[in-house]
Structure 1
Amino acid sequence: MAEILRIDGSQDLPASPTLPANVEAEAALLGALMIDNRIVEDVQLRLKAHHFFEPLHGRIYDAVLRMTDKNMIANPVTLRPLFEADEAMKEVGGPAYLAQLTGSGAAVIGARDFAAQIYDLALLRALVGVGREMVEGALDTSEDVAPLAQIERAETELYRVAEEGGSEGKVKSFSDATKEAIKNIEVALNNGGHLSGITTGLDGVNAKIGGLHRSDLTILAGRPGMGKTSLATNMAFAAAQRYQRDIEDGIEPAKSAGAAVAFFSLEMSADQLATRILAEQSGISSENLRTGKISRQEFQQLARASGELSSLPLYIDDTPGLTIAALRTRSRRLKRQKNIGMIVVDYLQLLSGSGKGSSGDNRVQEISEISRGLKQLAKELHLPVLALSQLSRAVEQREDKKPMLSDLRESGSIEQDADIVLFVFREDYYVAAREPKRAMDGDDAKVFEAHEQWQRDMERVYGMAELIVAKQRHGSTGKVRMRFDARVTKFSDVANEEYLPEFRG
């Protein structure tokens, strides 16, 4: 009789339940594979060696795959030399066991069913393993108790099992692919011919890149002070607001040009981001909002804007020090619970990978893991991921301050993994920093002339910004001119926008 483990006095559970497995099905499948190697093509995409409960069967399966991959016949005779010294094989009678497996030719008929059952049972065993780890972790109070961390870890493990369950590749026919393409083109047509993805809130940017596309990783980069967080906040707000309006107008969520947004802010707190959005919508200076220098009338404007935004589908997670794994777990949860359609990460370099290294080559590998993880997340959840990124100081050392792809900090993998790379550039930031000595009475003409020239330069560039499209898989590179109101941290379109045809770095 099975030993009973009492957990809380109210429930008895078997201490060592038998793990789900069917060793006979494994043996039958191996026999079928050795009789007819063509069956390998039907099962190898989904079934792996580790899915076999009996380790020896897993090794035989792996050997069959390796031989057929080399266009060699895999049967008891050709496999025999590989298992002469295998201890587990000796326990079942030696390599003659391989011939025993092929004893029933009838197994060939049910081979695909055997493979499906072996795979399903392997998933159940993985689920049992996750359950055991959850129970052991919950009962172990020897270390610091962190229930939320345990829940997050359990979610990650459960999703890993679920991911493996859906890992069989799907081959789409050209007909299916064209239907999806036509659907995207129809969305663009219905939105005025220039928006096929999620709106950025800026007509010039939408026209240039078609909005933020599902399954795409978009990198938005810039030096400190350029306003990349402001632009990302503007885009997130515009997408959430458009989604809210479309739903109110009876438009199906799948056909909306907006989206519910998850904003992972690793640098700023949620209330700081909310202050920015309130400043933008109320027209009150964000600095005045922070310091409380507002009139009673402005406070009423603020309260009105706050009321209008209270139901906005914009979810802010300001947890510091997130790992890429934790971010993916939280994103999946928000997708399931809130049906988010867009993710913003501010910013990429503040995420950490699964490794412990943080400098030198390890840091480059860590950034590669993070950028690859963000791209995988975009594809997995079928939504756009907008990730902000820092640029290296090389920009400051050049005469021309406009950023280039080579300025992306710490890893070339960011450029490689990204579908679109955008740079925010504000010339007035650099011109303002070059202000010469103010002209005073008694100064010579050169001082007066230098300051007047600086003033003319400032008038030319003040409040103007450029969004440089340095990489775009779906279209051309180029520039989009925008206006930037630093008082309320808001980017807007320039009237009569003209686009430069090609960005050449």
Structure 2
Amino acid sequence: MGYEFAEKSLLGSMLRENYLILDSGLRTSYFSIPVHQEIFTAMRELAQAGKSVDYITILISREPKDVGGANYLSGLHRFANMARFDEYKELIIEKWKEQEKKSLLHQAIHHDWSIADIQRSFDKLEGLETKAVDTSMTENLIRQYERPFEPLVERKGTPTGLTDLDHVLNGFQDSEYIVIAGRPSMGKTDALNHFALHAGSNGHLPIVFSLEMSKESMTNRLIAATGEYCRLRMRDPYQYFSEQQKSSWAATLGKLDNAKIHLDDRSGLKVSEIRAAARTIIKANPTKRPIIFIDYLQIIRPEGQPANQTQAIGQISSDLKSMAKEFNCPVVVLSQLSRAVETRQDKRPIMSDLRDSGNIEQDADVVAFLYREDYYNEEAKPTNMLEIQIAKHRNGPTASICALYSKNTGKLYDFSKRKVSS
């Protein structure tokens, strides 16, 4: 019954979002119920022909009884679950593989296959055939031939809005998993908002998953940073805003809207649900390069029932890295640090402060720590200085750069500009 439900959910989701029919990689043979095989075959044929796929077009293309009839087809919409599409897909594929393994072993015994033949069959089943993978270097070397004789045309990553940080990272790079870590109230969410605003203002597609803050709270923060408004005054702009601030309000909202930030504030999401939501947004905006932001890693819900928190975070971290590769875009994730940093005389974070966080350090392409001196020394004169320490950079140098940070507005500035609004 569970597998039948999963198959119905996949079909219902594909009826709702037609692009999944061809993009999902599903095959007719993965479905165990004959009527579902017939429905999927009809859906795929219609999609390949560039036609709309709904229960009417399916009924027209097949004998109604072969696809369960009109009521059965129209009822599939009730089972649609975009957030769990990937989970259900893996479920039915694994079931299909188990059945195929049993069939292969039966054939192997009946026909007295060699061990090598059995291994090849199992490799084919798992999609590991070497002939399907181009391992030759020749074509790549041909493309390299003119490199010493042509100026470098470097494709920059998504700009961060901080000159020194862009110099080190060359922007946030596609397929990279970037972790930005710091203690609570260090400025992580404001840094995320800065990066999202700058990416959107430069024509990219920022997709923000705010698992902790509501959409209203995030929107207020984004408005304050965009308009350089004091967040205390933002509680009641009518009462506390100056006439100049009120006159700039409409332009600020317009500027924020032009960034076209997509904000999902559902709490307790799994990586599979984040992936499903991101895929839908990316598919709806095919001309823009996406960048995904998540606030924050430790409150993402794990898949299944991991043995402990370390295993859970390790699984989540690995899944986030896979998502960056799948979408070929940067995935920027905020992370909390352990309390160990508070016990040291030098409070600047180090890699071991991630030690209770599974394999974050191993998976991440970039690990950046945020640090403010006045966070720990209340008697010190506020400097508005925010250190961003690149502690790990898989494809480039490590470094420590500075930005200016206004805690009142939540806005980050290039250090070279040396200007902070109050």
* 1:124 alignment partner in structure 2: 28
d(CA) in 2 for partners of 1:175, 1:314: 42
Give 2:248's match in structure 1, choosing from 301, 310, 325: 301
- 1:416 is the counterpart of 2:377: no
* 1:198 alignment partner in structure 2: 158
* 1:230 alignment partner in structure 2: 190
Q: Using a 3 Å threshold, how does the CA distance of structure 1 residues 130 and 402 change in structure 2: closer, same or farther? A: farther
Please state whether the residue corresponding to 2:178 is helix, strand or coil: strand
d(CA) in 1 for partners of 2:151, 2:93: 29
* 1:452 alignment partner in structure 2: none
Q: Using a 3 Å threshold, how does the CA distance of structure 1 residues 407 and 149 change in structure 2: closer, same or farther? A: farther
The question of whether the paired residues in 1 share the 8 Å contact of 2:341 and 2:353 is answered with: yes
d(CA) in 1 for partners of 2:390, 2:375: 20
After superposition, the C-alpha distances for 1:206-225 in whole angstroms (9 at most, x for unaligned) are 00111111110000000011
d(CA) in 1 for partners of 2:398, 2:297: 23
Give 2:381's match in structure 1, choosing from 435, 440, 458: 458
Shift of the alpha carbon at 1:180?
Answer: 9.5
After superposition, the C-alpha distances for 1:379-425 in whole angstroms (9 at most, x for unaligned) are 01100100110000001111100000111163240000000000010
Q: Which runs of 5+ in 1 are unaligned?
A: 1-120, 140-145, 189-195, 244-258, 436-456, 498-505
Q: Using a 3 Å threshold, how does the CA distance of structure 1 residues 242 and 129 change in structure 2: closer, same or farther? A: farther
* 1:267 alignment partner in structure 2: 212
d(CA) in 2 for partners of 1:150, 1:354: 16
Instruction: Note the 1:76-475 alignment, pairs <5 A.
Output: 123-127=27-31, 132=36, 147=78, 150-154=81-85, 156-158=87-89, 170-171=133-134, 173-174=136-137, 177=140, 179=143, 186-188=153-155, 196-243=156-203, 259-292=204-237, 293-339=240-286, 341-357=290-306, 361-408=307-354, 410-432=356-378, 435=379, 457-458=380-381, 462-475=383-396
Shift of the alpha carbon at 1:313?
Answer: 2.5
The question of whether the paired residues in 2 share the 8 Å contact of 1:156 and 1:329 is answered with: no
Q: Which runs of 5+ in 2 are unaligned?
A: 1-24, 40-66, 98-124
d(CA) in 1 for partners of 2:179, 2:375: 22
Question: Whose radius of gyration is greater, 1 or 2?
Answer: 1
d(CA) in 2 for partners of 1:130, 1:205: 56
Please state whether the residue corresponding to 1:368 is helix, strand or coil: helix
d(CA) in 1 for partners of 2:279, 2:222: 25
The question of whether the paired residues in 1 share the 8 Å contact of 2:388 and 2:403 is answered with: yes
The question of whether the paired residues in 1 share the 8 Å contact of 2:181 and 2:369 is answered with: yes
User: What TM-score do the two structures reach when normalised by structure 2?
Assistant: 0.67
Please state whether the residue corresponding to 2:134 is helix, strand or coil: coil
Please state whether the residue corresponding to 1:215 is helix, strand or coil: coil
- One-letter amino acid of the structure 2 residue matched with residue 351 of structure 1: I
The question of whether the paired residues in 2 share the 8 Å contact of 1:123 and 1:161 is answered with: no
Please state whether the residue corresponding to 2:202 is helix, strand or coil: helix
Shift of the alpha carbon at 1:152?
Answer: 3.1
User: What TM-score do the two structures reach when normalised by structure 1?
Assistant: 0.57
Q: Using a 3 Å threshold, how does the CA distance of structure 1 residues 413 and 377 change in structure 2: closer, same or farther? A: same
The question of whether the paired residues in 1 share the 8 Å contact of 2:83 and 2:274 is answered with: no
* 2:17 alignment partner in structure 1: none
The question of whether the paired residues in 2 share the 8 Å contact of 1:279 and 1:488 is answered with: yes
Q: Using a 3 Å threshold, how does the CA distance of structure 1 residues 122 and 413 change in structure 2: closer, same or farther? A: closer
d(CA) in 1 for partners of 2:210, 2:311: 23
d(CA) in 2 for partners of 1:344, 1:184: 33
Shift of the alpha carbon at 1:341?
Answer: 1.3
Shift of the alpha carbon at 1:487?
Answer: 1.4
d(CA) in 1 for partners of 2:272, 2:192: 22
The question of whether the paired residues in 2 share the 8 Å contact of 1:390 and 1:409 is answered with: no
d(CA) in 1 for partners of 2:144, 2:83: 34
Shift of the alpha carbon at 1:153?
Answer: 2.8
Q: Using a 3 Å threshold, how does the CA distance of structure 1 residues 302 and 428 change in structure 2: closer, same or farther? A: same
User: Which has the bigger relative contact order, CA under 8 A and spacing at least 6?
Assistant: 2
d(CA) in 1 for partners of 2:235, 2:154: 40
Please state whether the residue corresponding to 1:483 is helix, strand or coil: strand
d(CA) in 1 for partners of 2:273, 2:357: 22
Q: Using a 3 Å threshold, how does the CA distance of structure 1 residues 328 and 161 change in structure 2: closer, same or farther? A: farther
* 1:90 alignment partner in structure 2: none
- One-letter amino acid of the structure 1 residue matched with residue 29 of structure 2: R
d(CA) in 2 for partners of 1:122, 1:463: 53
d(CA) in 2 for partners of 1:174, 1:157: 37
The question of whether the paired residues in 1 share the 8 Å contact of 2:220 and 2:234 is answered with: yes
Please state whether the residue corresponding to 2:316 is helix, strand or coil: helix
d(CA) in 2 for partners of 1:131, 1:237: 48
CA RMSD of aligned residues (A): 3.6
- One-letter amino acid of the structure 1 residue matched with residue 256 of structure 2: L
d(CA) in 2 for partners of 1:150, 1:385: 24
d(CA) in 1 for partners of 2:144, 2:389: 29
Q: Using a 3 Å threshold, how does the CA distance of structure 1 residues 431 and 294 change in structure 2: closer, same or farther? A: same
Q: Using a 3 Å threshold, how does the CA distance of structure 1 residues 495 and 312 change in structure 2: closer, same or farther? A: closer
* 1:478 alignment partner in structure 2: 399
Please state whether the residue corresponding to 1:468 is helix, strand or coil: strand
After superposition, the C-alpha distances for 1:191-248 in whole angstroms (9 at most, x for unaligned) are xxxxx211111111000111111110000000011101111110111011111xxxxx
- One-letter amino acid of the structure 2 residue matched with residue 376 of structure 1: S
d(CA) in 2 for partners of 1:331, 1:282: 28
Shift of the alpha carbon at 1:157?
Answer: 3.5
